[in-house]
Chains A and B, each alone.
Chain A
Amino acid sequence: MSNAPNSRGVPSSSLGGVVSANKILNAVLVFSRDDESIHRRLTYDIIKESLRGRYKKVEVYVISPLKPPLYLRQVRDLLLSNIHVSIVVKYSGCGADSLRRLLEELVKSGNDIRVYSSRSLRDEYLEVVKQFGITSIIVGESQ
């Protein structure tokens, strides 16, 4: 971690950011509709991996047609089920192009990336994920 100061000249060692980068999972949740199986699967993964000590923080990026902050409904159960790791939730737009832009950014971060989506997701999303060679976890029932 660099010791670059904040905008007030205080070193970043005083600012937090205590979780080292290799303990962070970037989880991308792609919703086409409300689907409980996505959060259940991610919760299961979080518990499993945090017990192994693999991740201490999960950054959740939501691709959803529901605009901020309404999409929080789709991750509420995930947030209420977790006590093990830090979770940061960010909205990343909707549509396959948003997903592509997001994955381009995340790949640069060097963190592990997983994409969680439901079976009902259109092929164009799955194509984008495939292009990045990222682990894609498809859960739940198809429409």
Chain B
Amino acid sequence: MSFEIVLTTDRTMMSNHRRKEFLGFMTTGPAVGIPEFLWMWVAAPKIRVDELGRPVEAPYGLRKIEARLQDLGYKAAIIDPDYIGKYLNSMKILMIGHHDYFAYGPPSSEWWFITGKEPVNRKSFIRFMRSEPVRKAKEKGVKIIVGGPAAWQWLWEVELMREFGVDTVVDGEAELVIGDIVEKALSNEELPQYVFVGPHEVPQVSEIPVIRGASVNGLVEIMRGCPRGCKFCSVTLKPLRYIPLEKIRAEIEINVRNGVKNTILHSEDVLLYGADGIKPREEPLIKLHELAKELTPESIAWAHTSFAAVKYAEDNYRLVSKIMNDILHDKQDYLGVEIGLETGSPNLAKKIMPAKSAPYPPEKWPEVVEEALKILHENKIVPAVTLILGIPEETPDDLIKTSELLDRIRQYRSLIVPMFFVPMGALKNRDWFRRNAVRREHIDVMLKTLYHSIYWAEDIMNRFYMKETKYLPARILLKIFMSYVKHKVDKLKPKLEEMIHS
């Protein structure tokens, strides 16, 4: 069997990260304390492939485009990066997707900034693009089309774009525009260099295809867009669409049929599935979780939610408790999710994310965070919480408020990751956060998050996350890594404290 369109990405993306997606975050940093090959072995091991080199699991975004191209009648398939050389004679188009091609997104840019070393995702991607099969494909006249959430990063790497021979960058939801680009490429017509898909060209729910193969770790999209309108976020610019249960069912079934026994419900805010504006509703969420439970052999996770939705859902319907204790209780003993805290300052929250706390007022944002974290802790939901440092409007007082909030939430099980501001969303024309802009208040916040996360990481690993024996080697390596980081920071601490108090 041959393919005229090959979709792929580098190893940091084409991996199931040992079925622990948080391990995937290690690929956003440089190898620290252990050699890079070991770092990659822990965070991004090779994935199982079939006899054609098609991975059993692949990134969800690539799966969507693969499905769309197949619907349009093209011979298209996702191929593992180690196997694309098999298709040099049939391939006409090479499509590549990535979350963070050049490590400019959060948190890669932050690890790069702190350590001064290139993160492994960037190194791995550049290595892949310079590999023999990609170079040979280009020599044979294969068109290279790149896309995904990090498409914009190519605008900052035009020299590499030239070196790699990238023909077109597609930025945005590509379902409705990709057919036209492929037709042009196959008939050797001139291709556009950059395509930004605006709000009028995104697909309606009925136009979003169902994936044909399994997605990494069983990720299934339940909605697109977000109604909160935070200024730093690009997702919020897209129209809000809820994926119907029958499509969600079809995708979970495909994952399970292909041996992926977990489901990650993907949305910018899972608790807003079927919501009344920004107010979670009981019925759609119960139905969603009952469906996911019925079809998923092992555990379920949420990609993202929000503190405001957690508090509202629990206060009004006891919904978080119902999902965890009535629906999922016999399936799993915890649930993982990523949540944006961004700032502990009500003033800054009002400026950059006035609806993030809704239906509660932005003035109550710190209280909403605290109460929601308590609800999550009590219901064994383990959040990876993100903070943004260096937002353009941020003041020292805002950072002090964040620091004070970190003290109050120390008691709640969570990992807290500070991220430096990356210009995206309505702030995408603003300046990047730079090393010389770091204040002592930033260092204070970073130290607090580090100690918080190290404290809880061990608890999470022992009690929930990687407690099975098969994870012992990876767990040992992670513990060594955490001890190494703590040791390094302890050594640096007097200097940092001197800076903080100067």
Interface residues of A, Cβ cutoff 8 Å to B: 6-10, 14-19, 23, 56-57, 68-70, 72-73, 75-77, 79-91
The stretch that binds A, out of B367-375, B421-429, B477-485, is: B421-429
Closest Cβ–Cβ distance, residue A73 to chain B (whole Å)? 6
**Nearest 10 interchain pairs by C-beta:** A8-B73, A86-B198, A15-B179, A16-B176, A89-B194, A56-B200, A87-B196, A81-B429, A76-B155, A85-B198
Give chain B residues whose Cβ lies under 8 Å from the Cβ of A83.
198-199, 237, 425-426, 428
Closest Cβ–Cβ distance, residue A110 to chain B (whole Å)? 19
B179-195 contacts to A, CB under 8 A, are: 179-180, 183, 186-187, 190, 192-195
B158 contacts A by Cβ under 8 Å:
yes
B72 contacts A by Cβ under 8 Å:
yes
Indicate if the CB atoms of A90 and B192 lie closer than 8 Å: yes
Closest Cβ–Cβ distance, residue B98 to chain A (whole Å)? 17
Q: Please, which residue of chain B has its CB at the minimum distance from the CB of A88?
A: B192
Give chain A residues whose Cβ lies under 8 Å from the Cβ of B155.
72-73, 76, 79-80
Residues A57 and B201 in contact in the complex (CB < 8 Å), given A7-B183, A16-B176: yes
Residues A72 and B161 in contact in the complex (CB < 8 Å), given A7-B183, A15-B180, A79-B194: yes
Most buried by B among A9, A16, A87, A90: A16
Indicate if the CB atoms of B201 and A82 lie closer than 8 Å: no
Closest Cβ–Cβ distance, residue B356 to chain A (whole Å)? 19
Cross-interface CB contact of A86 among B175, B200, B423, cutoff 8 Å: B200
Give the complex CA separation of A97 and B192 in angstroms.
21
Give the complex CA separation of A56 and B200 in angstroms.
7
Closest Cβ–Cβ distance, residue B462 to chain A (whole Å)? 44
Cross-interface CB contact of A68 among B193, B199, B237, B428, cutoff 8 Å: B193
Give the complex CA separation of A6 and B423 in angstroms.
38
Residues A14 and B72 in contact in the complex (CB < 8 Å), given A70-B158, A76-B155, A87-B194: yes
Give chain A residues whose Cβ lies under 8 Å from the Cβ of B425.
83
Cross-interface CB contact of B187 among A7, A10, A14, cutoff 8 Å: A7
Cross-interface CB contact of B162 among A8, A18, A69, cutoff 8 Å: A69
Give the complex CA separation of A23 and B198 in angstroms.
13
> 17 extra interchain contacts, Cβ-Cβ under 8 A, other than A7-B187, A15-B176, A84-B199?
A6-B72, A10-B71, A10-B179, A14-B179, A15-B183, A16-B175, A16-B176, A16-B180, A72-B155, A75-B194, A79-B171, A80-B155, A84-B198, A86-B177, A86-B195, A87-B198, A88-B192
Give the complex CA separation of A88 and B426 in angstroms.
20
Give chain A residues whose Cβ lies under 8 Å from the Cβ of B196.
79, 82, 86-88
* 18 interchain pairs, CB-CB under 8 A: A8-B72, A9-B73, A15-B72, A15-B180, A17-B180, A19-B201, A23-B200, A57-B200, A69-B161, A69-B193, A75-B194, A79-B152, A79-B171, A80-B429, A81-B429, A83-B426, A84-B199, A85-B200
Indicate if the CB atoms of A18 and B179 lie closer than 8 Å: no
Closest Cβ–Cβ distance, residue B431 to chain A (whole Å)? 11
B74 contacts A by Cβ under 8 Å:
yes
Give the complex CA separation of A10 and B195 in angstroms.
23
Give the complex CA separation of A23 and B200 in angstroms.
11
Give the complex CA separation of A79 and B198 in angstroms.
11
Closest Cβ–Cβ distance, residue A13 to chain B (whole Å)? 10
Give chain B residues whose Cβ lies under 8 Å from the Cβ of A8.
72-74
Q: Beta-carbon contacts of B134-177 to A below 8 Å, as 1s and 0s?
A: 00000000000000000010111011011000100001100111
Indicate if the CB atoms of A69 and B166 lie closer than 8 Å: yes
Give chain A residues whose Cβ lies under 8 Å from the Cβ of B409.
none
Cross-interface CB contact of A6 among B154, B161, B183, B197, cutoff 8 Å: B183
